[in-house]
Amino acid sequence: FYNNCFKNGILPIVVSADDRDALMADASDTENPELSIDLVTQTIRRPNGPTVSFEIDPFRKKCLLEGLDDIGLTLEKADNIDSFEAQRDKDQPWL
């Protein structure tokens, strides 16, 4: 589930049980149930409490921020792929 979230552009956040309980209480608040997630600073802002920090792999963070999926990552290397294929065609024309 965790890995598939990233493949679908969803940020799965792992927090401690205490932080989870505090966030659930904040989300249940009928007056101000808003939580704000800031991926750049890796924090969850609460309406009436301290921010909660979370960890994320830098590569996965980059992919989410730039909207990159597996195809997008491959396309970032298109120039390298084209160069490789051109050189391979010269070195191994029978392929």
Question: Tens digit of pLDDT per residue, the chain (95 long)?
Answer: 999 999 999 999 999 999 999 999 988 877 878 899 999 999 999 988 899 999 999 999 999 999 988 888 889 899 999 999 999 999 999 98
Domain locations in the chain as residue ranges: 2-56, 68-95
Q: How far is residue 48's CA from residue 61's CA, in Å, rounded to a whole number?
A: 27
Q: Which long-range contacts (CB under 8 A, 24 or more apart) does 30-36 make?
A: none
At 30, list the tokens.
């009928």
Task: Evaluate the CA torsion angle 81, 87, 93, 95 in order and state its sign.
Answer: negative
Contact 18, 27 (CB under 8 A): no
pTM above 0.95, yes or no: no
